[in-house]
Amino acid sequence: MADAPRPTAGIDTPDRRGRTGLDRHGRDLDGNPRVRIRDVEVLSSDWFVLRKTTFDYRHSDGHWSREQRETYDRGDGATVLLYDERRRTVLLTRQFRLPAYVNGHPDGMLLETAAGLLDDDDPETAIRREAAEETGHEIGEVRHVFAVYMSPGSVTERLHFFAAPYESPPRAGTHGVAAEGEDITAVELPFAEALAMIRTGGIADAKTVMLLQWAALEGPFAR
């Protein structure tokens, strides 16, 4: 007699984040009549979730094909550009990013706007939390700028973009949640210098580039 299949963490039993049923995500989607979800397989759920989805797709000429795509689900996130309109400065963060380091960045130390995952919070609550953790600043009124999918070919994350004023220079020392291995430095730059660093490659983080360009075109530093 064959042994019963062993239960799988994240599907039959809770994984280390207490989740089950991760293979059901997306199976009930019916918003696009050209897409029929056939199967969802969980490849990994160590912390975030990597899935392989099989679906039928009706092409523009009417024929159907069977397709497979992998999606990486890390939840949605939020980011904020902190700016001082009077002094014409912005407050960014610098931290090590392994994926950038292994893909050609000289040292992996990226200049970025403060950001983080929503977890169980709404976007505004989350970005207030992240700004305090990463820069040491409690921010006041925030402006929601837009929300976009940052890498829709493979990553499910939708990122909410905010802007908020700050008044005092960054505090010395490092920031972040030590238990999560964060070692973050707050960096204040003249806005013109930060904008120029996009062209030179000194700022190579997409969300930061988007917010700096927004600030120049429509935001606090628009002419």
Instruction: Enumerate residues 6+ apart whose C-beta is below 8 A from 81.
Output: 90, 113, 161, 162, 163, 164, 208, 211, 212, 214, 215, 219
3-state SS assignment for residue 153: coil
Quote the CA–CA distance of 154 and 76 in Å, as a whole number: 14
Q: Tell me if 215 is assigned to a ligand binding site.
A: no
Q: Tell me if 193 is assigned to a ligand binding site.
A: no
Q: Tell me if 130 is assigned to a ligand binding site.
A: yes
Write out the H or E segment, with its range, that includes residue 50: strand 49-58
Q: Tell me if 182 is assigned to a ligand binding site.
A: yes
Quote the CA–CA distance of 72 and 77 in Å, as a whole number: 14
> Would you list which residues are annotated within the binding site for Mg(2+)?
115, 130, 134, 182
> Would you list which residues are annotated within the binding site?
115, 130, 134, 182
